[in-house]
Each structure stands twice: as C-alpha cells, then as structure tokens.
Structure 1
Amino acid sequence: MSAATPGILFVVSTPIGNLEDITLRAIHTLRSCDHVVAEDTRRTLALLRHLNISGKPLHSLHAHSPPTHIELIVQLLEKGGQIALVTDAGTPLVSDPGDALISATLNAGFRVVPIPGPSAILSALVGSGLGGGRFRFFGFLPREGKNRCNTLLHIGNTSESIILFEAPTRIAKTLHDLSALTPNRLACIAREITKIHEEFLRGSLAELASLPREEWRGEITLVLGPHDLPYTMTSPCTSLDESKLQETIERALAEGETTKNVVNHLMAKSGGKSKRDLYAQVLQVKNRQK
C-alpha cells in the first residue's frame, strides 16, 4: 500500500451458496487487495480460507456500523489502499449496507470498480420462467405498518415482473397479503438458490399461499410475473368488519370459489383471525348454502 498509488475500492461479488460460482477475477482481486471490507467477517474469513487466502486484514461494515468505520476505510484509500468490498452473499449494494461506503468513496474522489458475479436476483428471475422483459426489484418488504401497505399496493399496481427478498419467517404472510391483491398472478418462490436443497415453486399467488408448509427455511427470493393493468384493489392491510367478511364469503362461494381459495384470499382481511378459524367460518357458510 502506497500513497503514490491511487486508492481503489473493488466491489466484489461472492457466491450466493455454491462456492464454485466465484469468478477468477474475484479470486485475483481478493488475493491482490490490501484490505477486505465485509458485512460479516466470519463468513468472509471462511470464504478466504476456502480460496487459500490468508493474512488479509478484515474490516467489518454492517447496517449498524458507526460512521467512523467508513471514515477509516476512506483514510485507507487516501494512503493508496486497494480495498475489496464484499457482502455475505452475492453483489454488494443490493439490500446490504455497502451503499454508504461507495458514496463516501466517490465523494472523496476515488475509483469504484465493480467485479461482477453471482446474483440471487437474476438467478431467481431466470429459474422462475417469469422474466423476458422489464422487471423491478423491491429488496425486503417493510415488516408492518403503512409503509408495508403502500409497498404492497405499489407492487399490485406494477405491470412488470417483480423480484423481492423475504425472510423464511415472513414469507407466508407476504404470500397471503399479495394473493389478497392479485390471487391469479403467476409467481415463483426461489429457495436456497445454488445450494443442495435448491427449489423453485411455481404457481399463482393463491396457490403458493395455500402450500401446506408449517415452516419455511433458507434464503428466499420471490418472483412475480408480469400482469395486465388496471386492477381495482384496496389495501391488503384493511380488515373487513364481520358483516362484510361474512358477505364476502357468501358471495365468493356462490360464485363457485373453493373453500381453500376463499380462505387464502381473505386471510389478510380477516381482522387477525387464524387460518383455522377462518376456514371453519367458510365451511359453516358453505354448509348453510347447501
């Protein structure tokens, strides 16, 4: 590292599951750089060991890192440091904290060099069979509140393919909320991409929301196919009162909807009822209509 050599920040894509997916250029960059900035230094250290790279100074940079961490890295660039920025998996800056460092690097007048490689976004899109045109990436959805409702409505009113990340503990709720908006929209759950248990589950949002899974596991990317607009829809976070809920159930069953579809469509609007209770209510209405 020499001040006579301009500092450079290399943004290095790393495998999203299968370590064999790392590129030759990424390996060369990690071997030749002076420092590595990582979201989780433990995971990055495991990758470096796999590549037989040792003695490389590691610096932590995650969502809760103080601004002083970025200032330290910029100081290393000022001394001519060749620095590699990596994330836990995939490409830095995509749903990770690397954007602040890249902005600071550019503002300080240093080069940012992308080292492309694996991407869960494109891998999911290709495997889903729902691409072929424009798409929008939403990252992780807000967990709750008005921001979540507005984002869900935005997705429902977007005609292009949609790609988003979701945690296994929240994917069931997200599927129910999205199916309440556009139940027939085609979608694909891409799970554990490039790993041993890689799985692509395809179907309508209503069908995916009704999958009999008690617990989801692994890294999940959700792809929604394109659909035609306009759609008339209300917020999936707006609950129906009991009389409206009963009326909606009766009308849906009278129109020939199955019990399962009615339950899945109304889960997000049932005022917090459990799926079991809503299922019992739908069956009760169905039995009265016989």
Structure 2
Amino acid sequence: MAGTLYVVATPLGNLEDLSRRAERALAEVDVVAAEDTRRGRELLNWLGIKKPLVSYYEPREEEAIPGIIKRLLAGENVALITDGGTPAVSDPGYRLARAALEAGVRVTPVPGPSAFAAALSAAGLPTDRVTFAGFLPPKQKARREALAELADRRDTLVFYESPRRTVEFLRDAAGVLGDREAAVFRELTKLHEELLRGSLLEIASELDSRPEVKGEVTVLIQGAGEKAEVSEEEARKMLAAALAAGRPLKEAAAEIARLSGLPRKEIYAWGLEIKSRASSD
C-alpha cells in the first residue's frame, strides 16, 4: 500500500507557530523532504525529532521527484517542508504534489503559517477578493508588463519581493497602477517584524531613506476602484514615479492615459517638461 505525502506548513520565523499536528506529522513520517536540509535539520533538532532528510529545492525538483515517489509507492510516508511557510505557495511543492496524485498517492495538507495569509489578515486592506501574484519577474520590463496585466483588477493584490528590489518594485507599481494605498510587511513573525502603511510612493520613499532593506518582504496593494476620476495632480505624480523608475515616456503616458482618462498627448507633454527640468538641474 502506498504511503502518504504530507504537505506541512512550518514557521515563518517564530517557532511557536508550529502546530501540534505538524509536529506529530514530522515525528511519524519515514522521511522529510526539505527545501534546505540544513534548516530542516534545525527545525527537527528543536523538536527533538530524528528523521532522515532528502533535498527538495526548486532548481532540482524534477531530479528529486522520482526518488520521493518511489519511496511513497513503497509504502513510506513523506513530509514536505520548505524554509518557512506553506509549501507550494511561491515555494517548491506543487510539482511533487501533482506527481504524487498522478501516481495514485494520497496527498494531505497540514495547514499552518503562510506569509500571504498572515499579511492579509493584518494589512487593513479588503480581504473579500484577493489576487496572489507571488514573485514577479526580477527584470524591470517583465515586471512592469506583469503589473499592467493586474492594473484593472479590483482585488487586493499580494506579492512577495526580495528586499533588494522592494523600492524599485514599489516605484514600478506606482508608475503602472497609480499611487495606491499599500501595506508592506517585513520580517513577518520575527523579532524585527515591521508593517509600513501608506501610498506606494510614501513607502518607497521611507525604505529608500534607509541604508538597506532587510528581511523577507510581503507587499499588499489596494485593488483598482471604479473607473474613478484621477485628478491632474495624481496623474502628474504617477507620471513622475514612472519616469523616476526609468519607464519610457511614451509607454508611461499611454498607460496613465488609460488609467486616468486624460489625453495622452497632454500627459506626454508633462513628461517632456519633467525631463527638461531634470536635465537642467
């Protein structure tokens, strides 16, 4: 009889967030598949559990899957864990779960910590409709294109981002989506947990004033409203943010015209004024 694949959520940072069910699952399985075996071993040691670990991380998922499926079909129970949070949510896992299901293996979630859900619960933004976009492409052009695809969604938008790219991401988002209300969580559940609220550009300015941004970052952005009136002042701010982020004027003017309903030629002329002032400074 085949074993069971347990998809086990583990703490983001505070070990006290581990559920009793997750602890029991880790204690009872035959083997633990971990995104990082060193961090997996640290967690098991903290729990006083001794289990063999196998490596399962994203660049080599396809290589690891056959061996894990073989164990499951031989009757072993396997727990899948990542470095923190819920496996397969912007972390390795869905390919293994799919392969197990296709092989006729039972897959059971052991729910628990998730940066996405934790941030959403405390951000003060609407939670009835949500789009989770995870990590957007690191390259600016591709990132802007991905943001543009989300521009008309009325859902609260949730992203994960590298601390090194957070300021750039926020400015790109303001340039593409408009300077919307947002919340940025840093180091969720850890000693230095921080929540920043305000507009995208306000938060970007605050983080840019620091020597560096540290820790894992979750960004939540208010969804698009009704086809709302966008004042000239707001449109000018959007344009300035887009140009400051390096977006081509023609592209930025077209996008802001679409969002605001203002004439594209007029917005383009503002952009020329901004560029002229910048070159004379």
TM norm structure 1: 0.79
Cα distance in 2 between the residues matched to 1:229 and 1:260:
20
Match of 2:134 in 1: 139
The answer as to 2:263 corresponding to 1:268 is no
Query: CA distance change for structure 1 residues 270 and 67 in 2, over 3 Å: closer, same or farther?
Result: closer
Cα distance in 1 between the residues matched to 2:228 and 2:26:
49
Moved over 3 A (4+): 229-233, 259-265, 269-272, 281-286
Is residue 130–residue 226 contact of structure 1 (8 Å, CA) maintained in 2? no
Cα distance in 1 between the residues matched to 2:33 and 2:76:
12
Matched to 2:38, the amino acid is R
Higher mean Cα deviation, 29-38 or 122-131? 122-131
Cα distance in 1 between the residues matched to 2:58 and 2:227:
38
Cα distance in 1 between the residues matched to 2:125 and 2:193:
18
Secondary structure of residue in 2 paired with 1:221: strand
Query: CA distance change for structure 1 residues 269 and 67 in 2, over 3 Å: closer, same or farther?
Result: closer
Matched to 2:72, the amino acid is L
Is residue 135–residue 160 contact of structure 1 (8 Å, CA) maintained in 2? yes
- Select which of 167, 173, 178 maps to 1:178: 173
How do residues 208-227 of structure 1 correspond to structure 2 at under 5 angstroms?
Answer: 208-211=203-206, 212-227=209-224
* 1:152 CA drift (Å): 1.0
The answer as to 2:99 corresponding to 1:99 is no
Cα distance in 1 between the residues matched to 2:145 and 2:238:
24
* 1:149 CA drift (Å): 2.7
Cα distance in 2 between the residues matched to 1:177 and 1:146:
10
Secondary structure of residue in 1 paired with 2:54: strand
Matched to 2:45, the amino acid is R
Cα distance in 1 between the residues matched to 2:182 and 2:140:
24
Secondary structure of residue in 1 paired with 2:59: coil
Cα distance in 1 between the residues matched to 2:276 and 2:59:
50
* 1:189 CA drift (Å): 0.5
**Runs of 5+ consecutive residues of structure 1 not aligned to the other structure:** 234-251, 273-280
Match of 1:189 in 2: 184
Percent sequence identity over aligned pairs: 41
**Runs of 5+ consecutive residues of structure 2 not aligned to the other structure:** 250-272
* 1:118 CA drift (Å): 0.6
Query: Radius of gyration: which is bigger?
Result: 1
Cα distance in 2 between the residues matched to 1:125 and 1:79:
40
Query: CA distance change for structure 1 residues 101 and 204 in 2, over 3 Å: closer, same or farther?
Result: same
The answer as to 2:202 corresponding to 1:207 is yes
* 1:256 CA drift (Å): 6.2
Cα distance in 1 between the residues matched to 2:84 and 2:126:
23
Match of 1:114 in 2: 109
How do residues 118-133 of structure 1 correspond to structure 2 at under 5 angstroms?
Answer: 118-133=113-128
* 1:145 CA drift (Å): 5.8
Query: CA distance change for structure 1 residues 285 and 69 in 2, over 3 Å: closer, same or farther?
Result: closer
Is residue 5–residue 107 contact of structure 2 (8 Å, CA) maintained in 1? yes
TM norm structure 2: 0.82
Secondary structure of residue in 1 paired with 2:138: coil
Is residue 152–residue 224 contact of structure 2 (8 Å, CA) maintained in 1? no
Cα distance in 1 between the residues matched to 2:217 and 2:202:
17
Cα distance in 2 between the residues matched to 1:175 and 1:92:
26
Matched to 1:194, the amino acid is T
Query: CA distance change for structure 1 residues 266 and 214 in 2, over 3 Å: closer, same or farther?
Result: farther
Matched to 1:38, the amino acid is A
- Select which of 46, 49, 57 maps to 1:50: 46
